[in-house]
Chain A
Amino acid sequence: MSTLERSTEQKQAEWYANPAGGRSEQPAGPPEPLENAAAQVPVRMSAEGLTVRYGVSTFGIRDVTMALYDRKVTALIGPSGCGKSTFLRALNRMHDLGRDIEVTGDAFLDGESIYAPGVDPVVVRRRVGMVFQKPTPFPTKSIYENVCAGLRLVGMRKRSLLDEAVEKALTSAALWDEVKDRLRSPGGSLSGGQQQRLCIARALAVEPEVLLMDEPTSSLDPNATMRIEQLITQLKRQVTIVIVTHNMQQARRVSDYTAFFYLGEMVEQADTHELFTAPKESRTQEYLHGTFS
Chain B
Amino acid sequence: MTDIAVRSGPPSGAGLQLNTGRLTAARYRAPGDRAFKTVVVALSSAVILLAIAMAVVIYLEAAPTFRAFGYLSFLSETTWDPVAAVHGALPFILGTLLTSFSALALAVIPALGVAIFSSEYAAPPLAALINYTVDLLAAIPSVVIGLWGIFNFAPQMRDAVYMPIYLWALEEAEWMLPIIGAPSTYNFVTATLILALMIVPYTVALSRDAIGQVPREQREAAWALGATRWEVLRKAVLPYARTGIIAGILLSLARALGETMAVAMLIGNRNRLPFTLFGPAATMPSVIINEFREAVEPLHYSSIMAVGFYLFFVTIGINLLASWVQQKLSLSKGAV
Contacts and interface: CB of A to CB of B under 8 A. Distances in A.
B218 A94 contact: no
Interface stretch (B3-11, B236-244, B268-276, B280-288): B236-244
A189 B332 contact: yes
Interface in A104-158: 122-123, 125-126, 129-130, 132, 134, 136-142, 145, 149-150, 152-154
Given A132-B217, A132-B220, A185-B335, A140 B240 contact: yes
Contact of B223 (A94, A142, A186): A94
Interface stretch (A19-27, A199-207, A236-244): A199-207
B231 interface: yes
B235 A149 contact: yes
A122 B227 contact: yes
A150 B239 contact: no
A172 interface: no
A150 B226 contact: yes
A125 B331 contact: no
A257 to B, nearest CB: 23
Nearest to B243: A140
A92 interface: yes
Contacts of A152: 235
Task: Kindly name the residue among B215, B236, B335 whose own CB sees the greatest number of chain A CB atoms within 10 A.
Answer: B335
A138 B217 contact: no
Contacts of A129: 224-225
A140 B217 contact: no
B226 A97 contact: no
Q: How large is the interface on B (under 10, 10 to 19, 20 to 34, 35 or more residues)?
A: 20 to 34
Nearest to B215: A136
B226 A122 contact: yes
Interface string B210-228: 0000010111111111111
Contact of B226 (A99, A137, A154, A186): A154
A184 interface: yes
A107 to B, nearest CB: 16
Interface string B23-56: 0000000000000000000000000000000000
B336 A145 contact: yes
Which of A138, A141, A150 counts the most chain B CB atoms within 10 A? Answer: A138
A187 B226 contact: no
A192 interface: no
Interface residues of A, number: 35
B333 interface: yes
Contacts of B220: 94, 97, 132, 136
Contacts of A126: 225-226
Contacts of B224: 92, 94, 125, 129-130, 132, 203
Contacts of A42: none
Interface in B272-310: none
Given A136-B217, A140-B239, A186-B332, A202 B225 contact: yes
B218 A138 contact: yes
Contacts of B242: 140
Contacts of B225: 125-126, 129, 149-150, 153, 202-203, 206
Interface string A244-273: 000000000000000000000000000000
B315 to A, nearest CB: 29
Contact of A140 (B219, B227, B336): B336
Contact of B218 (A136, A186, A203): A136
A188 interface: yes
B235 A153 contact: yes
B335 A186 contact: yes
Nearest to B335: A186
Given A122-B228, A138-B236, 16 more contacts: A94-B220, A99-B124, A125-B225, A132-B224, A136-B220, A138-B221, A138-B222, A140-B331, A145-B335, A150-B225, A153-B225, A186-B333, A188-B332, A199-B221, A203-B225, A206-B225
